[in-house]
Chain A
C-alpha cells in the first residue's frame, strides 16, 4: 500500500518569512495530492491540491510543487501570518476507474508555529 512520509514534524518560522513542508510517497500510481490544515480540535480543511498532470499550483500565498519522478511534493507558504499556525497534513490517493478515489493516505503532520 501507499506510504507517505512528511517532514519536518515541527517548524517554527518568524512572521513574514516562508515555510516549506515536504512529503514523499511510495506508490507511483498515486495521482492526487491534497494538503489539509487542521487547527486544534477542528476538522481538517483542504487548502490546496495538485493532480499528477501538473508540476506546480499556486493560490495567493500558498503553492504546491510535485516531482513525479522523485515521488515527492512540497507545500510553500510565503509571507507567513500568525493565523497560519496549525498542523498541516499532506496526503496521497489514487483515482479509480469508477469515478471515485481511494481513501487518502496521510503523512503524520507538521506543526507550524509562526513566531510574532
Chain B
C-alpha cells in the first residue's frame, strides 16, 4: 500500500508564477481533501473533492485558487499568480468509502511551497 502520494515535495516559485500541486489518493479511495498549514499553525481545510466533483470548497480563497479531481489521474491544486503569503505546506488527504471507516483521512507527505 503506497499511501497517499504528493508531488512535488518542495516547490519554489517567484511572485506571479503558477503553482501546481498534485495528489494521488490511496488505492480505492475516492475522496480527496486539501489542507494548508502555515508555520507553527494547525491545518486549515481548503476543499473536498470526489471524482469529477467539488463537494465543498468553502475553505478555498475565492481568487487564484482552484482544484480538480479528474476521472483519470491525480487531484490538482492550482494557485495562480502566487504571492508570498501563499508560502505554506499543502497537505492532501484521502478517505475510503467503506461504511465502517469512511471518515478516516490519511495524509500525504505534503508539498512545501516557497514563494520568493
Contact = CB atoms under 8 A, between A and B. Distances in A.
Partners in one complex: yes
A108 B102 contact: no
B105 A34 contact: yes
Contacts of B69: none
A76 B42 CA distance: 20
B97 A100 contact: yes
Contact of B42 (A1, A102, A106): A106
Nearest to A105: B45
Given A89-B43, A99-B97, A104-B45, A43 B91 contact: yes
A105 B103 CA distance: 13
B25 interface: no
Interface string A73-116: 00000000000000001000101000111111111110000000
Interface size range on A against B: 20 to 34
B104 interface: yes
B74 interface: no
Contacts, number: 70
Interface in A27-44: 32, 34, 36, 42-44
A49 B95 CA distance: 14
Contacts of B47: 103
B116 interface: no
B97 to A, nearest CB: 6
A14 interface: no
Nearest to A36: B107
B41 interface: yes
A46 B106 contact: yes
The 8 closest A-B pairs by CB, nearest first: A103-B45, A106-B42, A101-B103, A43-B107, A32-B103, A108-B42, A106-B43, A44-B107
